[in-house]
Structure 1
Amino acid sequence: MSLLLIVIVVLLSILVVLNHRKRHRYPLPPGPPTERTWVGRQTINLPSVLPWKVYHEWSKAFGPVLSLSLPGTPPRRVILLSTPSDINNLYNNRSSIYCTRPTWEMARLIGRQNNVAFTPYGPRLKRARRFLHAALGPKEVESWQALLDKEVNNFLRDLISRDEHERSLTLSKLIDSHVSNTATFLTYGHHASPQFVAESEKINLDTGMSLIPGRWALEGFPLLKYLPSFLPGMGFKRWALQAKKRLDDQVRREFEKAKQAIDSGSTARCLVAHALAEPLSQEEIFILKCTAGSVYGAATDTTTALLHSALYILSLHPAIQASCFAHVGSFNRLPDASDEPSLPYFTAFIRELHRFRPVVNLIAHSPIQEDVVDGWRIEKGVWVIGNIWSVCHDVELYPKPGEFKPERHLDDEGKLDAAVKDPRDLTFGFGRRRCPGEHFANAHTFLFLSRFIYMFEVFSTHPSSDLSEKLEWSSSFISRPKKENFKIGIKLRTESLKEFLQQGLKV
């Protein structure tokens, strides 16, 4: 028996070695030139200004699948994908492998590991997504139309009640407030208080700060998280503790507030109430609490960025704005959700908005096992980053990608062209991590923009006449028009105002 055992162990060892060698016959993908560190490793520093554009240029020079080795101990590997076929192949066709997220050490340190966007793939993420799908799935969107109608009209009333100069000055803040109220009511059944909004802005800023590439030594040297916070150089830990407490306190407070309203029977329809309609275990309640806390950040940052981009682009393209108004104004009433199928040009405008400047340009997944793609080895646990900006500016998919052209999504008869890829198939994510709130987000975007354009004309107040100087977006994880460039004015369409009032929507 001992001899047989030895033979089995030897054979298994040989198989393991052969399998290891077989896998490593495949090389790592190529990459741009690297720098040798003091310990002899070849690494590269990631760009911090519009990195998706830099990666796009790298892909044209070195290939559509790139491998980067980042500084750190141990060194981190990043795989960059730049073509629609590669991103679809890995994120959709192989979603069972590329279903988890990379580990952002700083994001975990500030407590974001329980956020749905950062949760590793597993039972907890599946339960969180079931909560979201049950409340926000395509079958439920119609039930939220009353909420969207009310919140969009409240925004219009607030804007109309101000004089023309004040409207332009407060437009950005009013959009932020509108999105905050909608997201909070959707999640908790009540509007956002000024304190909640102020705290949420800090929390969103904390999250954005934690995700800035190359900012934190912790990402390259994760053992730093075990050192005491009072040591020199550990200021990041003290900041992280404050950021974590800020998030934990808000998530707990808002959930308890919603639960008390539900128990007293005074709450409105919302995600939390929908989930608590069924008995839940303590673990499920914890997951629900974290899921609810995730919705606000995910919904507000992305939606406000998209709406700001829309008005910014409209102000710089008067002809496109005129075409949008010609379509939404043809009803001689406020557009409704049911009107979208009969407004292909306006839908094309929204699609082009997602394509021209995606809100999230880089989407990161991580494989749960080693894989081989087009002859290249993809190691387990590496960062695999899909460059959404690169795909949205692919000249074969979208000719002249640098131009904002809604008509590229229409056929010769003015209908939506099924042969042109809808950019929202990219911008809302992929596979098992695709955004579960996309249907609600699309409904909100259509209703807000169609009614805004029906009521107001937008124009640029930027001093420069050079379009290229105006079209600048931030390099942050959630990209939006730079604040210093977001200089637009708005003018009320008088006839639209009369019709608005005639419908009983008093100011």
Structure 2
Amino acid sequence: MSANHLVESLDSKRLEGSILTLDLSLLFIGLLCLGLVTLLADYAYMLYIHRKLPPGPIPLPLIGNTHLLPENKPWIYFEALAKQYDSPVITFWIGRNPTIWINDAWAASELLDKKAALYASRPRMLVFSELSGVGQYNLVNMYYGDRWRVHRKLTHQGVGLQQVRKYRGFQNNESQVMAFNILHDPERFVTHMERYATSVVSIIGFGRRVASISDPLITQVLAIMQRAAELNVPGKSFPMIMETFPWLAKFPKRIAPWLKPFGKGGRGSAFYYALADEANKTSQQEPCYVKQLFREAPKYNLIPTEIASLTGNLFGAGSDTSSSTLVTFALACCAFPETLPAAWEELDRVVGSHRSPSWEDEPHLPYVKAFVKEVFRWRSVAIIGGQPHSPTKDDYWKGYLIPKNSWVQGNTWAIHHNEREFPEPDRFNPNRFLCDSSDSRPFPNDKGYMTFGWGRRVCSGQGLAEQGTFISIARLLWAFRIEKARNKDGQEVPVDIFAYTNGLNMRPEPFSCSIVPRSEPIRDTIVAEGKEALLELSVYDGETKYTLSQFYEKPNVG
């Protein structure tokens, strides 16, 4: 090859390389422009929709308002936003999805109760539902439809309002045992409350009680429930940031450390199914909810994951929330001792010291009933009203659009801390619920609180929780002086009424208190009733061979 031909060949290759580089550059610029146009078009659509929605902060492209979320207790932030925009219903964008927050009792009643059928569904919940491994097999997550009706019917067969009255006998006995245990070991009052609540639902579900505070069913079940509750609170860190950027959930788990906490999914489901299958085969007691589920399984084509979910929901409806409510009760006693003498006077007059309260006393204990209602109101456990609702079609509130399938959340904190209905809302005041009291205010429902949610998605365990909370609080008020602990110098140890956990089902952070019987005759009655209750409950004694740790490496059931 001559020198001229070599030069021409090199020039030709340089030209081809330049053209290729130019082509790649143009392609990159084209893709960049296309991406920018798509982003601008998408953002323009977000702003267009935003103008139709209830008021709220203007969203940014892609991230919406997620960057504005506080690290803890966003329900307080949403309450402040409602005041800032002077609107009880506000919009807050999680990524590209608008979420609607209801911060007023009357607006919640108007939308979620009066339009119960319209707001009976659930939105897509990536973290809590899809990544958990159970998704649409769990009543809590299910979209509204025929399968939801089946699960709701089966749930009512376990904890419906007509059913729970049948449980009063062992529920009362377990409450007596709780008082007996607290008498002998007051420092671990929280654990005794957890054992009580877990044992009641274990008897209902499995036909066996939880006799010891060391039973792994207590710590493991509550750990599952509390962890699940954390996966329902909007956030800007992992894992909740995946609600803003769903594509983060599509990475292979081997290269996505933020997905590793979810493991293979379904571990809790496998655990609950094993407990249910064991009880179905071995329990001779009634009630035994899981035996009923297995009898109904062929009729409704229930798969193991559904049986596990129905069983697990029973614990969610009755163990974590009920024990958290009782711990809040103890905190209120310590923080507001001025509310206790009226309860003691009423209990001494109606009940006396030689027996503890019963459900038959309830009509004659109006102040104690008001005390229980104020516990539900003051620090509601399901602080954002449980799982979000979702309308099955577009709806409107005061001319504002609430889009189909959007996330609609009742902010129970804001509802129960509205100065209009509850003056000085952080003050624990049972008089709010006495009809002839000057502290009473109008409310859109007869109960005077919205602790258990709304409409067709109201908490399935409401009847069981209200029934058990009344008898337990009445008994503990009757039995003990629950006061602030004292240090070695005899000075009171202060308690913090704002020190609560950050999950959907919030509970007080650990605190110390003094719990002593109110009199010697009452002490004797606590002991006598506790021993008798243990004898009556002995028919439910039993153990399980399963623990949650056994299922960490097992695949999903179903």
TM range (shorter): 0.7 to 0.9
Is 1:346 equivalent to 2:346 in the alignment? no
Which structure 1 residue ranges, 5 or more long, are not aligned? 1-19
State how 1:66-465 maps to structure 2 within 5 Å.
66-71=90-95, 75-107=96-128, 108-113=130-135, 114-160=137-183, 162=184, 167-192=185-210, 194-214=215-235, 215=237, 216=239, 217-231=241-255, 234-242=256-264, 244-262=265-283, 266-276=284-294, 280-281=298-299, 283-284=301-302, 286=304, 287-330=306-349, 331-332=351-352, 333-363=355-385, 364-412=388-436, 425-461=449-485
Distance 1:57 1:91 in 2: 22
1:104-135 deviations in Å (ceiling 9; x for gaps): 21112122423322222222221111112223
Question: Hey, what's the Cα distance between the residues in 2 that align with 1:471 and 1:46?
Answer: 19
CA shift, 1:320, in A, is 1.2
Question: Aligned partner of 1:320: which letter?
Answer: T
Looking at structure 2, the residues matched to 40 and 104 of structure 1 have their Cα atoms a distance apart, in angstroms, of 17
Equivalent residue in structure 1 for 2:507, among 463, 469, 480:
480
User: How many matched pairs?
Assistant: 468
Secondary structure class of the residue paired with 2:179 = helix
Output the CA distance in 1 between the equivalents of 2:50 and 2:312.
45
Per the alignment, residue 537 of structure 2 pairs with none
The amino acid of 1:173's aligned partner reads: T
Aligned partners of 1:348, 1:282: CA distance in 2, in Å? 42
Q: In structure 1, what is the Cα distance between the partners aligned to 2:294 and 2:146?
A: 19
**CA shift at 1:456, angstroms?**
1.5
Looking at structure 2, the residues matched to 170 and 487 of structure 1 have their Cα atoms a distance apart, in angstroms, of 10
**Distance in 1 of aligned mates of 2:196 and 2:461:** 18
The residue type equivalent to 1:474 in the other structure is T
Shift of 1:159: 2.8
Output the CA distance in 2 between the equivalents of 1:230 and 1:503.
56
Percentage of matched positions with identical amino acids: 23
Deviation at 1:278, TM superposition (A): 5.3
Deviation of the 1:46 alpha carbon: 2.1
Partner of 2:521: 495
Q: Residue deviations 1:23-78, cap 9 Å, x none?
A: 979712221355x45x696764322322222211111111222112223xxx1211
Distance 1:241 1:419 in 2: 45
Inter-CA distance 490–256: structure 2 relative to 1 (3 Å threshold)? same
Deviation at 1:253, TM superposition (A): 0.7
Q: Distance in 2 between matches of 1:502 and 1:153?
A: 10
SS in 1 for 2:409: strand
Distance of 2:363 and 2:327 partners within structure 1? 24
Kept in 1, the 8 Å contact 2:416–2:449? The answer is no
User: How far apart, CA to CA, are the structure 2 residues paired with 1:409 and 1:247?
Assistant: 39
List gaps (5 residues or longer) in structure 2.
Answer: 1-44, 535-558
Code of the residue aligned with 2:451 in structure 1: it is T
Q: Distance in 1 between matches of 2:418 and 2:64?
A: 34
Alignment partner, residue 14 of structure 1: none
Per-residue deviation, 1:427: 0.9
Q: CA RMSD in A?
A: 3.0
Q: Give the whole-Å Cα distance in 2 for the aligned partners of 1:294 and 1:370.
A: 30
Q: CA deviation at 1:443?
A: 1.0
Instruction: Please tell me whether Structure 1 or Structure 2 has the larger radius of gyration of its CA atoms.
Output: 2
Q: CA deviation at 1:451?
A: 1.2
Distance of aligned partners of 1:26 and 1:260 in 2 relative to their CA distance in 1, 3 Å threshold = same
Deviation at 1:365, TM superposition (A): 0.9
- Which residue does 2:42 correspond to in 1? none
CA 1:310–1:105: 2 relative to 1, 3 Å: same
Aligned residue identity for 2:524: K
What does the per-residue CA deviation read over 1:465-499, in whole Å, with 9 as the maximum and x for residues that have no partner? 7978444322221111112xx21111123221223
Give the Cα–Cα distance (whole angstroms) in 2 for the partners of residues 183 and 227 of structure 1.
Answer: 39
Counterpart CA distance in 2 for 1:459 and 1:393 is: 25
Equivalent residue, structure 2, for 1:9: none
Partners of 1:361 and 1:477 within 8 A in 2: yes
Paired with 2:405 and 2:244, the residues of 1 have a C-alpha distance of 15
TM-score when scaled to structure 2?
A: 0.77
Using a 3 Å threshold, how does the CA distance of structure 1 residues 466 and 61 change in structure 2: closer, same or farther? farther
